[in-house]
Amino acid sequence: MHSLSGQVLIGKLLPVTDWNTVSLIVPPHTESFGLGGKLPMRTYLDRLTAYLAAAEAIGIVGAFVYDFPVAMDPWLAAFDVLAYSTALQPIVAVRPHQESAESVARRVVDLGYRFGRPTHVNIVAGATRLSRAAGDVEDKVAARRRLGQYAVDLRAEIDRRIDPDEGRPLAVTPSSSTPGVVPVDIVLMMARPRDKLAEDVARVRAEQGVERTSMLVGLVVRETEEQAWAAAAELYPPDRRQRVAGRLFMSQVVSSEHTASYAFGEQQEVHDERLWYGAPTRGIDAPKLVGSAEQVRAWLRSCANIGVTDIIVDLPPNVAEYAHMAPVFTAS
């Protein structure tokens, strides 16, 4: 049975993992998220293939496909993930006002048939005003209610089409401060200081009735803490264009997750010893854990102790970073 439970799939690659799954963010077909023009097609595919191979080599199994104004169609990006990897399972961002539950269910089931591994769905409202349906910004409670109904309809459409013996694709959704249940399998949230993380995980589990919560975080890992901080400064140097892009993005944001993450970065650059908010694309990127493999592993394990079950590794600036991350997800 195919699933994103992770233990079986990851166990083929790693001797031990503390997580149900570890996922990556799929790189875009542009120079960076929201910035730069389209890459030449061959350059895009070469970069994509390199990222997917490096991620699979360290046991990553999930592949989150984002949707934003200048992104490639997420279903085409998901097809590329399936075509250019051996085991990765896409988790595709879907905005209910753009795609019917019936159409999404058909794609999910047909991709599973075509590639012999599941494609999952990330049900999102949209992080910015422009990405949301007309009226959703003014009445967030009603919008949340529609998101919940969409999740119900999508599950029914998938279950109607899929062979139970083939496994059940998962539905995930971002955490939200707006009340209302969205019935999914996993709720995801950005990393944050651990006291606030514990509070939010407990709230989400109680409100949404889920057992699994996934945390999005960047990783900068080196042999020593000193080397890791030096690498962070080199990988994410000051960049005026990226800072301006981050501020423009935040001026349009209506997502409580992005708003909260930006506020933590404004409070101070480093929280809880190594959760770093100093990258120039603050507000767009997730914060980064910076340290040795042992230090980063310990920080993540403390999150497991408060209810985080899955990890999403934010997109690193270059493919070589995955090799540095590998010891974090293997036995100590």
SS (H, E, C) the chain: CCCCCCHHHHHCCCCCCCCCCEEEECCCCEEECCEEEECCHHHHHHHHHHHHHHHHHCCCCEEEECCCCCCCCHHHHHHHHHHCCCCCEEEEEECCCCCCHHHHHHHHHHHHHHHCCCCEEEECCCCECCCCCCCCCCCHHHHHHHHHHHHHHHHHHHHHHCCHHHCCCCEEEECCCCCCCCCCCEEEEECCCHHHHHHHHHHHHHHHCCCEEEEEEEEEEECCHHHHHHHHHHHCCCCHHHHHHHHHHHHHECCHHHHHHHHHHHHCCEECCCEECCCCCECCECCEEEEEHHHHHHHHHHHHCCCCCEEEECCCCCCCHHHHHHHHHCCC
Gap between the Cα atoms of 140 and 259, Å rounded: 15
pTM: 0.88
Gap between the Cα atoms of 277 and 262, Å rounded: 8
Gap between the Cα atoms of 267 and 193, Å rounded: 11
Beta bridge partners of 292: 222
Digit-by-digit pLDDT tens for the chain (332 residues) are 334 643 333 323 333 357 899 999 999 998 876 666 899 999 999 999 999 999 999 999 999 999 877 789 999 999 999 999 999 999 999 989 889 999 999 999 999 999 999 999 999 975 554 555 666 556 778 888 999 999 999 999 999 999 877 778 999 999 988 889 999 999 999 999 999 999 999 999 999 999 999 999 999 999 999 999 999 999 999 776 666 666 666 556 556 666 766 677 677 899 999 999 988 666 567 899 999 999 999 999 999 999 999 999 999 999 999 999 999 998 55
What pLDDT is stored for residue 282 in this prediction? Answer: 62
What pLDDT is stored for residue 11 in this prediction? Answer: 29
Sketch the domain layout of the chain as residue ranges. Answer: 7-218+296-327
Burial 246-258 (b: 16+ CB within 10 A, else e): beebbeebbbbbb
Cβ–Cβ under 8 Å, residues 33 and 68? yes
Q: What fold does the segment set 7-218+296-327 form as a domain?
A: TIM Barrel (3.20.20)
